[in-house]
Amino acid sequence: MAGGKWMGWWGHLGGLKQRGIVTYSLSPYEQRAFSGALHQAVFNTFRRVSAQVFYIGTPFGLGYATYVWAKANHEFRLSKAGHAYYGPGEH
């Protein structure tokens, strides 16, 4: 009891009609939040990666080309032809 008037049980308060209560509902079109998420994720990922490929691919390509050249040069310097070209002391 509050102030001499029975308020009722939870959900049935029995008081005056309240004002300013707003209720919300979803339309049937908004209830499928992830309806196209996987399809959109594939194309969005492709778009974002293709926009960054020059920023990532160029340094990666240069680094890989340097690695391939250094490995081939090292193998050549360890071979007979490399020893004949550079001399036995320079590896």
State the residue range of the domain holding 61.
Answer: 57-91
Q: Domains in the chain: how many in total?
A: 1
In-domain check, residue 85: yes
CB 91 within 8 A of CB 78: yes
Task: Look at the pTM and tell me if it is higher than 0.85.
Answer: no
pLDDT in tens, the chain (91 residues): 455 555 566 666 666 666 777 787 877 777 777 778 888 999 999 999 999 999 999 999 999 999 999 999 999 999 999 999 988 776 5
Question: Are 32 and 39 spatial neighbours (Cβ–Cβ below 8 Å)?
Answer: no
Residue 72 is assigned to a structural domain of this protein: yes
Look at residue 45 and tell me if it is in a domain: no
Q: Kindly report the number of other CB atoms within 10 A of residue 81's CB atom.
A: 9
Establish if 79 belongs to a structural domain: yes
2 within some domain: no
